[in-house]
């Protein structure tokens, strides 16, 4: 009883302290896709901590990659009368009916990480997503800046053929290459976003490019492929990070281990913190009626050896990646 009272008292104090932001305690329902990747697991755990930071009650429903489960979860959130609904949509279409129900119940919906078909634009408040074209561009700009004006042959490990993330990350990188005559993508193959394929493809790149002597940098669409590529370079007697520069995307913990060991140079973060900006938008909307922009772009932050990679590794490894 005492502990409960204490808890209530602390909550009360916290609410009074942060009164301008939260008029009343909010309850948010979050329909998460599932836990198909380490990033997704990290997103879930970061969402919990971000909600706790803001004293928001977050109810998470794991849909196990099924749209019908997500629709069920949203309906149950509506029935419970939550203050807002977060949705990480597993597919881009088929949401109109359930989102209309949410709109009729006057519950704002925020999309996390993925967008839905344009037809549903008026059905949600805002979408918090990363711009994967921009991620590719950030990677390219780091490389352009690092090599200066020197000629640089780049090999590229693409994601799964046809995946929109892979297409966009390639597009962003290519746009920077097009502006810098000294950069040239000499080889580009798919590594299917996996370590094993990244390693296999890098092995063949090394052989095809004179034992790797003519390769100046590797660009991988995700960190996992780069971890595989780093092993391939080491086994070929090359020094990744020194003989061959590396830049990849996602910022998973293992790439920070490699950066700390001097075997990788840079990574662009796909932040697992989509819920933080979404919560801020909802709280402002609820408190003052501020309507957020239709798209909140998350930061694509670049990390290098200058950012204390060991410390970032330690802080990220517990997130479930």
Say which residues have a Cβ less than 8 Å from residue 70's Cβ, sequence separation at least 6: 31, 33, 61, 63, 87, 89, 90
Backbone phi, then psi, for 174, in 5-degree steps?
Answer: -60, -35
Reduced to 3 states, what is the DSSP secondary structure of residue 158?
strand
Distance CA 206, CA 97 (A): 52
Which of 31, 64, 38, 25 lies closest to 252, judged by CA?
Answer: 38
Query: Smallest distance, Å, CB 16 to other proteins?
Result: 40
The residue whose two tokens read 């772009």 is 297
Record the tokens describing residue 127, joined without a space: 């979408």
Distance CA 288, CA 310 (A): 41
Query: Smallest distance, Å, CB 18 to other proteins?
Result: 35
Query: Smallest distance, Å, CB 34 to other proteins?
Result: 9
**Residue among 72 and 317 whose Cβ is closer to other proteins:** 317
- Residues contributing to the site for other proteins (CB under 8 A): 35-38, 41, 158, 161, 187-190, 192, 194-196, 199-201, 203-205, 207-208, 210, 224, 227-228, 231, 235-237, 254, 320-321
**Residue among 126 and 267 whose Cβ is closer to other proteins:** 267
**Residue among 219 and 285 whose Cβ is closer to other proteins:** 219
- H or E stretch covering 189: strand 183-190
Query: Smallest distance, Å, CB 151 to other proteins?
Result: 19
Distance CA 275, CA 138 (A): 23
The DSSP bridge pattern shows strands 57-62 and 302-304 to be: unpaired
**Residue among 201 and 282 whose Cβ is closer to other proteins:** 201
Query: Smallest distance, Å, CB 2 to other proteins?
Result: 37
If you ran DSSP here, which 8-state letter would residue 244 be given?
B
**Residue among 124 and 256 whose Cβ is closer to other proteins:** 256
The DSSP bridge pattern shows strands 152-158 and 126-129 to be: unpaired
Query: Smallest distance, Å, CB 190 to other proteins?
Result: 4
β-bridge mates for residue 185, sequence order:
154
Query: Smallest distance, Å, CB 118 to other proteins?
Result: 27
**Cβ–Cβ contacts within 10 Å for residue 130, how many?**
21
């Amino acid at each position: 009883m005492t502990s409960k009272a204490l808890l209530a008292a602390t909550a009360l104090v916290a609410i009074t302290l942060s009164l301008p932001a939260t008029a009343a305690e909010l309850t948010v329902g979050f329909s998460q896709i599932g836990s198909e990747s380490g990033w997704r697991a990290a997103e879930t755990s970061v969402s919990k901590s971000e909600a706790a930071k803001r004293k928001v009650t977050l109810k998470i429903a794991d849909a196990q990659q099924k749209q019908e489960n997500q629709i069920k979860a949203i309906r149950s959130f509506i029935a419970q009368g939550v203050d807002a609904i977060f949705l990480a949509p597993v597919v881009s279409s088929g949401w109109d009916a359930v989102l209309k129900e949410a709109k009729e119940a006057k519950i704002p919906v925020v999309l996390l990480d993925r967008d839905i078909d344009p037809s549903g634009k008026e059905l949600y408040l805002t979408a918090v997503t990363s711009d994967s074209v921009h991620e590719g561009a950030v990677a390219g700009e780091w490389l352009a800046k690092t090599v200066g004006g020197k000629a640089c042959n780049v090999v590229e490990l693409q994601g799964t053929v046809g995946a929109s993330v892979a297409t966009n990350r390639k597009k962003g990188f290519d746009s920077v290459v097009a502006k810098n005559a000294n950069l040239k993508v000499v080889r580009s193959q798919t590594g299917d976003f996996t370590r094993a394929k990244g390693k296999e493809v890098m092995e063949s790149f090394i052989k095809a490019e004179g034992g790797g002597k003519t390769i100046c940098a590797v660009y991988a669409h995700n960190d996992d492929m780069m971890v595989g590529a780093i092993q391939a370079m080491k086994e070929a007697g090359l020094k990744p990070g020194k003989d061959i520069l590396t830049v990849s995307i996602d910022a998973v913990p293992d790439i920070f281990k490699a950066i700390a060991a001097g075997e990788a140079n840079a990574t662009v973060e796909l932040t697992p913190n989509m819920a933080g900006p979404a919560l801020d938008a909802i709280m402002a909307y609820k408190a003052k009626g501020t309507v957020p922009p239709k798209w909140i772009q998350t930061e694509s932050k670049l990390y290098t050896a200058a950012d204390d990679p060991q410390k970032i590794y330690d802080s990220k490894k517990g997130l479930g990646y």
